[in-house]
């Protein structure tokens, strides 16, 4: 509903802009001795015509202004939407617009601005969305036509995909996420990119986009030269086959420590990586073996999370495409040499150079990412390509996107980096080099274990307890991560992650199970067109319905901001409102007409709760 109201207010402001521009263009900015900002609402209406007569026609021609551009500079629909408040007391309306924000734009008193917007909305609200509008000081209070609103809501709520499945039709979005490094354990830091990316996939798919899910595996680079050296010096085939990634991580950490004292180890590692790039058989055989071992663990974790990908095209996939990139950069006179390396100079953009080929002739992640961008555009013809990585890679993607722009590709503006904050352990950044790691699989299995213990305590007769525990435990981990705004750093602690109290996934899942239980007891589901919606106008029910009506807009907001936390926080608002409704409104024992009306609300709530949690990648058990 906020979206509909912000559209009305925006159009009203557009009309005001035309009129205020005319006022400003009168000689000396005065009408009958008064400045525009001092006009009363009555004078505004009556003098509007006089203003238009007194405009200097030559001045208009000389100072013709693009109204649309002015509007974009001064305010947007999203800004207006964010300004709309929900009053704590409904006597002040369903929504309230503080008009103080507009004083700099219109150079008028807030109360007058509110009065003018009120008059404009009255003329534009042809569908009867609003029952009343009131100006209180500098606030415009908006009262919805409850019956019309509820009818529309119940109808919209039963549409396929809640009426939001056409926004992305005929558009393709590529999402690059997860991308763990081969031969390293999947730790809690990798969970963030995986969960954010997976949620964005569900959100964009809900909006009708064709979504290409890409796992850009970290399966190439100098680190594999390090690992080969470490394997040959401090491990063997039997140890790796027995312990898998655990053994690979052990020797990788040992290499990092030993190379601090012995610099020749680094040179030896670089030499092995050059052999890999040149296709040397022994180097590639060991590398492929490490990759196979790693993929077994990754797939196990993805299965636990319910995450899948369309393509596992890691850095190695783009190796044979780097030479074409280098040729194109040379043809476009973008490549230069610096200390034996080939670079694209970005000094004029206040960025360090983007290295393409190292002095030893090997590629680097910049060149492989550039080759990947060009391949994806050619292969998928994407409208957007989204990269979900830590904010520490901000500069890297700025360089990559700038090089694509310098190559003459206008679609560079459709390359989007979606950064997120770091995961820290007791205030220290996670690092496989130092061994400061919490493994993802450990967290997930521990969460499932704790969920199962709670089930045995609270509902020992529950059917399929292990399956329910999996949904609750995994859901708790996902929700904890996605409830935080993605740019905030997360300081990992077992207590916070595995808590089942407060603003948590299990709380939302329990709300869903409660709603399903009510419907199961009711047996017969009433039909919407047979329900008397006037019975749903009490404060508690209507408050819940207003939150339900915001679901569609929450999906759009989450997509526009690349922010799954919008959906997570919405589910908490919805669950809280529903539980209040459950406690304050008799449902199953009410008289038949009221019972049927309230059952429709219960049914709509459970549908949206399940759908919203699905956008986060969380399953909801039918019973808990």
How many Å apart are CA 464 and CA 140, to the nearest integer? Answer: 53
**Residue 333 appears among annotated catalytic residues:** no
Instruction: Answer for the pair 359, 310: CB distance below 8 angstroms, yes or no.
Output: no
Burial readout 136-152 (b: 16 or more C-beta within 10 A, e: otherwise): eebbbbbbbbbeebbbb
Burial readout 290-305 (b: 16 or more C-beta within 10 A, e: otherwise): bbebbbebbeebbebb
**Residue 190 appears among annotated catalytic residues:** yes
Q: How many CA atoms lie within 13 A of 473 on its CB side?
A: 25
Let me know the angle formed at the C-alpha of 592 by 620 and 154, rounded to the nearest 5 degrees.
50
Q: Report CA-CA distances (Å) from 435 to 252, 335, 439.
A: 10, 39, 11
How many Å apart are CA 103 and CA 113, to the nearest integer? Answer: 8
Candidate list 2, 111, 149, 187, residue with the active-site label: 187
Q: Report CA-CA distances (Å) from 215 to 120, 177, 180, 182.
A: 51, 6, 8, 12
How many Å apart are CA 22 and CA 598, to the nearest integer? Answer: 52
Candidate list 190, 342, 366, 417, residue with the active-site label: 190
Instruction: Name beta bridge partners: 29.
Output: none
Q: Report CA-CA distances (Å) from 52 to 105, 112, 136, 559.
A: 20, 20, 30, 43
Taking CB atoms within 8 Å and a gap of at least 24, the contacts of 20-23 are 20/106, 20/107, 20/108, 21/65, 21/67, 21/70, 22/48, 22/51, 22/52, 22/55, 23/51
| Among the listed residues 211, 141, 219, 127, the one whose alpha carbon sits nearest the alpha carbon of residue 179 | 219
| Among the listed residues 364, 358, 444, the one whose alpha carbon sits nearest the alpha carbon of residue 399 | 364
Instruction: Answer for the pair 99, 139: CB distance below 8 angstroms, yes or no.
Output: yes
| Among the listed residues 479, 471, 520, the one whose alpha carbon sits nearest the alpha carbon of residue 612 | 479
Candidate list 184, 384, 417, 610, residue with the active-site label: 184
Q: Is 270 helix (H, G, I), strand (E, B) or coil?
A: helix
Q: Report CA-CA distances (Å) from 379 to 172, 311, 329, 361.
A: 11, 12, 20, 28
| Residue spans of alpha helices (H) in 306-343 | 322-331
| Among the listed residues 433, 555, 554, 423, the one whose alpha carbon sits nearest the alpha carbon of residue 496 | 423
Instruction: Answer for the pair 259, 252: CB distance below 8 angstroms, yes or no.
Output: no
| Torsion over CA: 233, 238, 240, 242 (sign) | negative
8-state DSSP, 588: T
How many Å apart are CA 438 and CA 274, to the nearest integer? Answer: 32
| Residue spans of alpha helices (H) in 102-161 | 103-106, 110-124, 146-157
* Three state DSSP letters for 436-491: ECCEHHHHHHHHHHHHHHHHHHHCCCCCCHHHHHHHHHHHHHHHHHHHCCCCCCEE
8-state DSSP, 325: H
Give catalytic residue positions. Answer: 184, 187, 190
């Amino acid at each position: 509903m906020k979206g509909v109201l912000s559209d009305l207010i925006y159009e009203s402001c557009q009309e005001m802009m035309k009129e205020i521009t005319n006022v400003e263009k009168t000689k000396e900015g005065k009408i009958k001795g008064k400045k525009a900002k001092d006009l009363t609402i009555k004078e505004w209406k009556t003098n509007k015509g006089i203003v238009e007569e007194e405009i200097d026609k030559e001045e208009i021609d000389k100072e013709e202004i693009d109204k649309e551009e002015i509007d974009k500079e001064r305010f947007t629909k999203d800004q207006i939407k964010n300004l709309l408040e929900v009053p704590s007391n409904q006597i002040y309306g369903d929504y309230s617009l503080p008009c103080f924000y507009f004083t700099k734009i219109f150079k008028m008193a807030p109360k007058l601005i509110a009065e003018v917007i009120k008059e404009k909305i009255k003329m534009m609200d042809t569908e009867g969305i609003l029952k009343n509008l009131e100006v209180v000081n500098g606030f415009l209070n908006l009262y919805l036509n409850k019956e019309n609103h509820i009818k529309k809501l119940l109808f919209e709520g039963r549409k396929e995909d809640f009426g939001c499945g056409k926004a992305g039709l005929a558009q393709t979005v590529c999402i690059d996420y997860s991308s763990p490094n081969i031969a390293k354990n999947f730790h809690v830091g990798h969970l963030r990119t995986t969960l954010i990316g997976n949620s964005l996939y569900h959100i964009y798919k809900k909006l009708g986009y064709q979504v290409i899910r890409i796992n850009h595996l970290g399966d190439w680079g100098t680190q594999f030269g390090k690992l080969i050296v470490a394997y040959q010096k401090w491990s063997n085939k039997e140890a790796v086959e027995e312990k898998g990634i655990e053994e690979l991580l052990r020797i990788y950490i040992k290499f990092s420590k030993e190379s601090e004292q012995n610099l020749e180890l680094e040179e030896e590692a670089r030499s092995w990586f050059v052999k890999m790039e040149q296709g040397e058989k022994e180097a590639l055989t060991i590398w492929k073996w490490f990759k196979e071992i790693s993929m077994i663990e990754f797939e196990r974790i993805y299965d636990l999370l319910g995450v899948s990908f369309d393509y596992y095209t890691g850095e190695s996939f783009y190796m044979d495409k780097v030479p074409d990139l280098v040729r194109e950069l040379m043809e476009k006179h973008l490549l230069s040499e610096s200390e034996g390396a080939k670079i694209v100079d970005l000094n004029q953009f206040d960025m360090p150079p983007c290295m393409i080929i190292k002095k030893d002739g090997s590629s680097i992640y910049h060149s492989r990412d550039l080759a990947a961008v060009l391949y994806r555009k050619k292969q998928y013809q994407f409208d957007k390509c989204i990269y979900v990585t830590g904010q520490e890679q901000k500069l890297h993607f700025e360089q990559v996107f700038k090089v694509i722009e310098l190559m003459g590709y206008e679609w560079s503006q459709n390359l989007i980096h979606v950064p997120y904050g770091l995961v820290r352990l007791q205030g220290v950044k996670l690092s496989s080099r130092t061994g400061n790691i919490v493994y993802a699989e450990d967290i997930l299995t521990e969460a499932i274990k704790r969920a199962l213990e709670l089930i045995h305590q609270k509902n020992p007769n529950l059917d399929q307890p292990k399956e329910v525990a999996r949904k609750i435990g995994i859901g708790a981990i996902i929700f904890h991560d996605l409830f935080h705004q993605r740019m905030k750093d997360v300081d990992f602690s077992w207590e916070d992650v595995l808590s089942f109290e407060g603003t948590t996934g299990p709380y939302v899942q329990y709300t869903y199970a409660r709603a399903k239980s009510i419907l199961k007891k009711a047996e017969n589901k009433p039909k919407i067109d047979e329900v008397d919606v006037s019975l749903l106008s009490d404060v508690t029910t209507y408050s819940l319905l207003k939150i339900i009506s915001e679901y569609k807009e929450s999906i759009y907001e989450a997509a526009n901001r690349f922010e799954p936390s919008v959906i997570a926080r919405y589910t908490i608002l919805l669950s809280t409102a529903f539980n209040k409704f459950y406690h304050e409104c008799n449902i199953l024992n009410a008289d038949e007409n009221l019972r049927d009306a309230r059952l429709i609300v219960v049914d709509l709530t459970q549908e949206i709760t399940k759908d919203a949690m699905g956008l986060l990648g969380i399953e909801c058990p039918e019973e808990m």
